[in-house]
Amino acid sequence: MDRLDARALRRIAPPPRVVDWSILVVVTTAVGTGLLSWTGWLSPALLVTLHTVVSLTLVGLLLFKFARVANRVRDSRNWDRATPISVLLGAVVVAVLALGIFWGLGGNVPVGPWTTLNVHIGFGLLAIPLLLLHLRARLRLPSRTDASRRSALKTGGLLVAGVLAWRATEFVAATRDVVTRETGSKPIGDLADTDTEGGSFPVTSWVADDPDPVEPETWSLAVSGQVDEELELGHGDLPSGDERTVQRETLDCTSGWYTIQEWGGVRIGDLLDEAGVTDEAAWVRFVSVTGYRWSLPLAEAREALLATHVGGRPLSHGHGAPARLVAPGRRGFQWVKWVERVELRRDPDPAQWFVTLVSGFD
């Protein structure tokens, strides 16, 4: 940016502290909406839209900020102990924004097993501790002189620009035929590492879950907890051929891809009717041979499927053979693979969040 542009930017910029506090609000919102969009607690469409709008607003705010500090940073005599962190933070945030916009416009350059969305999220998480360090060194409380109608208008104008920029990216993405779901995921296309044996979609494990193949002959499925009668089913006890329930459901991974497949297996509702559930039962927990687990409210679990097949063929090991959970409407990480226990419980299981990160580490 040459000096003249920087001066023009400085002239239209809201006061420094208004810019800085707006950046903090916008970054917090971006991180919050980004993380929440995985959980399914709120409408993903709303969260992803909000995430995009505030992030594009951040682009404008950063231009003001960089124009203001550029001269100071250029002269090394102005540097103090906190400056390297601040410069690194600036670079990381620019990378996060660039990767996010690139993904939103339909780009994807996988790095090993990671999609561009994964890399965007990784840099985003890295920015959090850097931001905290930066704030510790530089935080200034807002003063009353910063609050004026003028600066409120300028800040509001930026938000409007963010909304317009979001509409523009939507338009560009549409002309490029990018089919994203409301979660921001794209259909599998040029993603590497596809397993065609059990349907052409990637085999994905969350962190370190990579068990040896589970032999159907020695595998068994336990239905236990708040049940009238515990069940222990072998592979041969699961429905075969026409007896299988087949549901067309969307597997949507937080790595940013989705696939629509026909899953065949046993309805959890049927399984529970066979065991009989007690009045105490409120949650159903699905546990993998690796310890990985997830729980669904009882009513929702009844509509889920314990799948043994996909696309009319037996699941491959990578996709969770002999049986994996298919949880309609839930994100992929909740679709537990290699299920060996179905537990009826009174309570939810908050520790499951943590377990998904560490299961598989010995």
Ligand X SMILES: Nc1nc2c(c(=O)[nH]1)N[C@H]1C(S)=C(S)[C@@H](COP(=O)(O)O)O[C@H]1N2
The residues that touch ligand X, with contacts defined as CB under 6 A, are: 201-206, 209, 251, 253, 288, 290, 292, 318-320, 332-333, 335-338
Cα separations (Å) of 244 from 216, 312, 319?
17, 10, 18
Q: What is the DSSP letter of 146?
A: G
Is 333 among the residues that bind Mo ion (CB under 5 A)?
A: yes
With binding defined as CB under 5 A, does residue 320 bind Mo ion? no
77 vs 248, beta carbon nearer ligand X: 248
- Rule CB under 5 A: is residue 253 a binding residue for Mo ion? yes
> Strand order of the sheet with strand 339-345?
231-234, 220-225, 339-345, 283-288, 293-297
To ligand X, the closest distance from the beta carbon of 295 in angstroms equals: 14
Cα(30)–Cα(178) distance, integer angstroms: 22
Q: Which is nearer to ligand X, 122 or 318 (CB)?
A: 318
Q: How far is the CB of 84 from ligand X (least distance, A)?
A: 35
CA separation for the pair 29, 56 (Å, rounded): 12
Comparing CB distances to Mo ion, the nearer of 252 and 343 is: 252
Cα–Cα dist 313/261, whole Å:
11
Cβ 138 to ligand X shortest distance, Å: 37
Least distance to ligand X from the beta carbon of 337, Å? 4
**Count of residues touching Mo ion (by CB under 5 A):** 5
Q: Measured from the CB atom, is 166 or 335 closer to ligand X? A: 335
- The yes or no reply on residue 202 touching Mo ion (CB under 5 A) is no
Contact 252, 181 (CB under 8 A): yes
Q: Are 245 and 305 in contact (CB under 8 A)?
A: yes
Say if residues 335 and 323 touch (Cβ distance below 8 Å): no
Distance in Å, CB of 114 to Mo ion, minimum: 12
Hey, is 346 helix, strand or coil?
coil
Residue 12: CB minimum distance to Mo ion, A: 43
* DSSP 3-state of 63: helix
- Residue 292 contact among Mo ion, ligand X, none, beta carbon within 5 to 8 Å by kind: ligand X
Q: DSSP for 280-342, please give it.
A: T--EEEEEETTS-EEEEEHHHHHT-EEEEEETTEEPPGGGTTT-EEE-TTS-GGGS-SSEEEE
Query: Taking the CB of residue 79, how many other CB atoms lie within 10 A of it?
Result: 13
User: Which residue has its beta carbon closest to Mo ion?
Assistant: 253
- If binding is defined by CB under 5 A, does position 332 make contact with Mo ion? yes
Interface map 207-246 toward Mo ion (x if CB under 5 A): ----------------------------------------
Q: Which is nearer to ligand X, 322 or 332 (CB)?
A: 332
Shortest Cβ 274–ligand X spacing (Å): 24
Which of 181, 27, 41 is CA-nearest to residue 104? 181
From the list ligand X, Mo ion, none, which binds 203 (C-beta under 5 to 8 Å, kind-based)? ligand X
- What does the block give as tokens for 162? 């963010």
Q: Which of positions 265-304 make contact with Mo ion (CB under 5 A)?
A: none
Output the CA–CA distances (angstroms, integers) from residue 122 to 35, 45, 57, 127, in the order listed.
12, 22, 21, 9
Contact in structure between 297 and 282 (CB atoms under 8 Å) = yes
Q: Which is nearer to ligand X, 209 or 249 (CB)?
A: 209
Minimal distance in Å, beta carbon 253 to Mo ion?
3
Which residues of this chain interact with Mo ion, rule CB under 5 A?
A: 204, 253-254, 332-333
